[in-house]
Amino acid sequence: QKEVEQDPGPLSVPEGAIVSLNCTYSNSAFQYFMWYRQYSRKGPELLMYTYSSGNKEDGRFTAQVDKSSKYISLFIRDSQPSDSATYLCAKPPNSGYALNFGKGTSLLVTP
């Protein structure tokens, strides 16, 4: 079983919709997770950290962790065409710095 599982999509929504992106994880020695965003032909960029207690909000983006079900979520409000990208969730490894990534969910926001 992969350490982080993510539905690859693709997910297509109209502009202005609320988007929900989800991951599950198998175990984590750390109490935080990350969301990366990757545009076509670019490397991933860090979007948000999220800690295992409560939600974290950053503008139109909200990240949430449910420790009991080992579920990580990213919500995008008022989605824009510029949000069209692949979103990857990640968790720290038990040792070292290389992250464990989900496969990524491809999101398309149509005008």
Partner 1 sequence: KAGVTQTPRYLIKTRGQQVTLSCSPISGHRSVSWYQQTPGQGLQFLFEYFSETQRNKGNFPGRFSGRQFSNSRSEMNVSTLELGDSALYLCASNSGTGVHEQYFGPGTRLTVT
Instruction: By CB under 8 A, name the binding residues for partner 1.
Output: 8, 30, 34, 36, 41-46, 49, 88, 92-93, 95-104
CB of 78 to partner 1, least distance (A): 27
CB of 101 to partner 1, least distance (A): 4
**Closer to partner 1 at the Cβ: 55 or 94?**
94
**Closer to partner 1 at the Cβ: 27 or 68?**
27
Please answer whether residues 23 and 2 qualify as being in contact, where contact means their C-beta atoms are separated by less than 8 angstroms.
no
**Closer to partner 1 at the Cβ: 25 or 102?**
102
CB of 36 to partner 1, least distance (A): 8
Q: How far apart are CA 74 and CA 96, in angstroms?
A: 25
CB of 42 to partner 1, least distance (A): 6
Tokens of 99: 């992250």
Alpha-helical regions (H) of 32-74 = none
Nearest CA to 104 out of 74, 81, 80, 66 is that of: 74
Q: How far apart are CA 33 and CA 28, in angstroms?
A: 9
SS3 per-residue string spanning 75-86 = EECCCCHHHCEE
**Closer to partner 1 at the Cβ: 17 or 84?**
84
